[in-house]
């Protein structure tokens, strides 16, 4: 049975499952095939997507019904959906998140009008932000910060802190957090004892 042999209700249901599968597939491949205003629906893409779809649970009920995926029809349906996806307007949440990521990274660029490209760009900016955060955590610490850390540690715990020369900022932050927790605990105990 082919797509055109289905009733209108079944065709609608199939298109719904197909487009849900497309969304999952694009998310899984992190929108790597998306370029601004360039169609991603090629013969190669359709072949790969067909294999993905046949291996997914979305297609199982259609397989049981005996539906065969024709690459030509699949390509037509995907082209129609691609046009509507690209024209889709970004929500306020998307816009705010995009501009927040740009601000955090110190970048300036226009909001893409192509919705699929916007989704790809959001993923790229998220990765860049994580890389910057990881780089910050792995950066070395200043001598002044180490001195303050050692004094605070000795004052709080009553013993000298021995640290390596290549301690990272993330490790220093963790030690300062432990000092803060201990100071809060001591303050609570003092309040209880005073009553």
Give 78-133 pLDDT, tens digit per residue.
Answer: 999 999 999 999 999 999 999 999 999 999 999 999 999 999 999 999 999 998 88
Match 């890389």 to its residue by tokens. 131
- Rounded to two decimals, the pTM is 0.69
- Report the distance separating Cα 72 and Cα 83, nearest Å: 17
Please work out, in degrees rounded to the nearest 5, the angle formed at the alpha carbon of residue 119 by the alpha carbons of 70 and 73.
Answer: 10
For residue 183, which of 157, 162, 161, 160 has the smallest C-alpha distance? 157
DSSP state of 59: G
Domain residue spans in the chain?
3-87, 92-138, 143-194
Tens digits of pLDDT across the chain (195 residues): 888 888 999 999 999 999 999 999 999 999 999 999 899 999 999 999 999 999 899 899 999 999 988 899 999 999 999 999 999 999 999 999 999 999 999 999 999 999 999 999 999 999 999 988 877 766 778 888 889 999 999 999 999 998 887 788 888 888 999 999 988 888 888 887 766
């Amino acid at each position: 049975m082919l797509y055109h042999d289905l009733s209108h209700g079944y065709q609608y249901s199939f298109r719904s499952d197909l487009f849900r599968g497309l969304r999952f597939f694009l998310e899984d491949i992190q929108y790597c095939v998306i370029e601004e205003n360039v169609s991603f629906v090629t013969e190669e893409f359709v072949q790969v997507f067909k294999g993905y779809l046949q291996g997914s649970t979305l297609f199982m009920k259609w397989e049981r019904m005996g539906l065969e995926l024709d690459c030509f029809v699949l390509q037509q349906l995907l082209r129609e959906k691609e046009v509507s996806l690209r024209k889709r307007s970004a929500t306020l949440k998307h816009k705010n998140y995009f501009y927040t990521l740009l601000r955090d990274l110190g970048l300036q660029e226009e909001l893409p009008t192509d919705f699929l490209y916007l989704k790809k760009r959001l993923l790229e900016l998220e990765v860049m932000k994580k890389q910057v955060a990881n780089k910050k955590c792995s950066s070395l610490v200043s001598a002044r910060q180490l001195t303050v850390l050692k004094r605070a540690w000795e004052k709080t715990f009553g013993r000298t802190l021995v640290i390596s020369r290549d301690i990272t900022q993330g490790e220093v932050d963790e030690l300062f957090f432990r000092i803060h927790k201990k100071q809060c605990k001591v303050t609570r105990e003092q309040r209880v004892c005073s009553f």
